[in-house]
Amino acid sequence: MYVLGLTAFQRDAAAALVRDGELIAVAPEERFTRNRHEAAFPRAAVRACLARAGIEPHQLDALVLAEKPSRSFERLLFAELTRYPRSWRTFPTFLLSWLGDRLWARSRLAQEVGVSSDRVLFVDSQRARAAWAFFTSPCEQAAILVSDDAREGATTTLARGNGGQIEILAEVHDLHGLTGLGAHAARHLGFAGVEDLGRFERLADHGSPSRRTELAHVLAIHADGSHAVSIDRLADALGPPRAAGAAIDGAGGAANDAGVHADAAASVMLALGDALLSAARELHRRTGLEDLCFGGELAEMSSLNARLLAEGPFRRLWVPPAPGEVGAAAGAALHAAHVLGAPRARPLDHAFLAEDVILDHDRTSAPVDAEERIRRAVDTLCAGGLVGWMHGRAEIGRQALGHRSLLANPRSADWRERIAQTVGRYEGGLGLPCAVPEERAAELFEIPEGGRGPARFRALRVRPREHAREWLGAALQPTKCEGPFKGPEHEATWIEPQLVDARVDPAFHALLSRFGQRTGLPVLVTLPLCRSTEPTVRREADARELQRRSDLDLLCVDDRVHAGPTLSSPSSKPADSAHAHAIHSR
């Protein structure tokens, strides 16, 4: 039985295919159109999923949209009416768009994909996210918390998962919700909105929550754990706005002198965390369970996940990769497949569900065996170089997890500057996004036992142990970040580790281990292999183009290795001259 899940008609359109209950492909449309957060109908993604299974559209048993369009329409219509008469300009556009197209989703989907309309199904967007969070987890029973955009009405959902069943317990209905609050605050501070919540979170690292009291008027947290958002008061509570692209205000008089914009961001992050914690406590009271599965856009924020685990009532936390729109497409397919009779999917132990590497036809370099590839990558990293690491199927979601990764040695003095030069912008906040072999993680970082699940997908912030702080040295040194984040110098305060399992990703694990043997520290900085304004690379040609335009010293693509201009240039100044000599003498 084949079930295709879709998210469409809004940012991050995606498709996912489930065969007999097992997820076999997830495809975000942006990877094909090269337009970040692509909102166009995911035609290419659908084709990629069908091609992965080798089937034609008529062989699909069901096509599932992760939304109930009529309920979304009702909510949006009400939202337009509540803004009367200020909505006179948007009202006709909204109605034309919905009455002309989106409301007739069944026939549109059937026509677009090429299936009969009686096979088109719909899953509530919050349920789809809950299904993605729960069905991918190793838990037989778990409490489920979802927080995302208001689509059909609910913005925060409490649920209980039991075997193959998900029971919705309670919902907060709000025009904006916690995600909407984060998005509006991000826009106030010059970011794009939901798409830029990651940058917003990193800006918050530089500030102190001095505006938390003012935000109490914007986000009211009730005694029963629910909350209500009043967006109208947000601008007053956050203080001066920032124009997109302008420098972050560093002249504020906040306690740590980080600037008014960073303080505003830190206050919002604190408020969001408080609201989620209250909801989590209520969920725990209602279910009495020890495992929490967290889904929705806010689950992308590792600082919130860390707070949920450290301060919340649950012992273990599970956060799937891509918990937002992309995950919803897969969740909708998994839920529908289960309702149609398929067994529950196996727990997800990796995120490598997107496309294979598309290799160039014109082979210009001879194949290099795995051992030699790793040796050259380790040599380059030891010499302070940057390595592009691309093999197998791509990871889904925003995090680089070792299949489309830009790697750097955390102990090289200038890795931040070099990454900024390569990807166009580095706003890493005060943390270190890195990968480490799973068996070595506990000795280096304070990873709570209940946080190993999200740590596999780099969805949790932890602190380094004292001896690891010494080893990491340069990586944790005070630094000024690139881009608009021009706050005062800070030492890195957190680590966002990815625990790499040798059984799941033997090649990347071997690279980390070999690097550890050489340097004593099996930790590599990992970032997505792409320019900061583009989606993750899809083809070898994209990666080579990135290498041509940047400072990437070595690019490993499956069994191919491409050296960059820096390695072949005698004027380069690597960090470690002995290793540099080794490279140049090759």
Partner 1 sequence: MPNFLALRASPWSDPVRKLLTLESFSRTEEDAGVDIALARKSVQDPAIAAHFERHARDEFKHAQLFRARAAELRAEGVAAPRDGQAEKTYDLELTRGVSGANAHGFLRGSDYEEQGELAYVAMLHVAELRAETLFERHMRALGDDERTRAIFEEILQDERYHVAYTRTLLTRWERAGRGAEVKRALSAARGASFIGAWKRLGAHSATGFARVLLILSYCTWVAPFGLMARNSRARTGWREPPAARDAALDLRAQY
Which residue bears the tokens 């026939």?
107
d(CA 184, CA 418): 32
Residue count of the chain:
586
Residue 224 has which token pair?
A: 């029963």
Interface with partner 1, residue 101, by CB under 8 A: no
Min dist. Cβ of residue 36 to partner 1 (A): 8
Judged by CB under 8 A, the stretch of 64-72, 202-210, 211-219, 402-410 that binds partner 1 is 64-72
Q: Which is nearer to partner 1, 91 or 471 (CB)?
A: 91
Question: Beta strand pairing status for 494-500 and 463-464?
Answer: unpaired
d(CA 291, CA 216): 30
Min dist. Cβ of residue 231 to partner 1 (A): 12
Options 85, 253, 520, 570; binder of partner 1; rule CB under 8 A: 85
Q: Which is nearer to partner 1, 3 or 495 (CB)?
A: 3
Judged by CB under 8 A, the stretch of 100-108, 304-312, 464-472, 476-484 that binds partner 1 is 100-108
x/- map, 189-228, partner 1, by CB under 8 A: ---x---------------------------x-x-xxx-x
> Contacts with partner 1 in 223-252 (CB under 8 A)?
224-226, 228, 245
Options 75, 106, 344, 469; binder of partner 1; rule CB under 8 A: 106
Q: Which is nearer to partner 1, 79 or 368 (CB)?
A: 79
Size of the site for partner 1 (CB under 8 A): 63
Judged by CB under 8 A, the stretch of 82-90, 318-326, 343-351, 429-437 that binds partner 1 is 82-90
Interface with partner 1, residue 442, by CB under 8 A: no
- If phi > 0 it is left, if psi is from -120 to 50 it is alpha, else beta; for residue 51 that is alpha
Nearest-10 Cα torsion for 399, 403, 406, 410: 80
Min dist. Cβ of residue 282 to partner 1 (A): 8
Nearest to 394 by CA among 148, 65, 52: 52
Q: CB–CB of 302/205 below 8 Å?
A: no
Interface with partner 1, residue 110, by CB under 8 A: no
Options 10, 47, 368, 471; binder of partner 1; rule CB under 8 A: 47
Judged by CB under 8 A, the stretch of 33-41, 199-207, 349-357, 363-371 that binds partner 1 is 33-41
Min dist. Cβ of residue 121 to partner 1 (A): 4
Residue 586 has which token pair?
A: 């090759």
d(CA 27, CA 153): 27
Residue type for position 446: E
Residue type for position 324: G
Q: Which is nearer to partner 1, 152 or 496 (CB)?
A: 152
Options 249, 282, 300, 395; binder of partner 1; rule CB under 8 A: 282
Interface with partner 1, residue 178, by CB under 8 A: no
Secondary structure of residue 388 in the 3-state scheme: strand
- Residue 175: count of CB within 10 angstroms of its CB: 18
Nearest to 202 by CA among 456, 431, 8, 44: 431
Interface with partner 1, residue 68, by CB under 8 A: yes
Residue 421 has which token pair?
A: 């030069």
Q: CB–CB of 319/133 below 8 Å?
A: yes
- Residue 366: count of CB within 10 angstroms of its CB: 8
d(CA 51, CA 29): 15
d(CA 337, CA 344): 8
Residues that bind partner 1 (CB under 8 A): 33-36, 40, 43-44, 47, 62, 64, 68-71, 74, 78, 81-85, 87-93, 95-96, 100, 105-106, 114, 121-123, 154, 158, 168-175, 192, 220, 222, 224-226, 228, 245, 282, 336, 339-340, 424, 531, 533-534
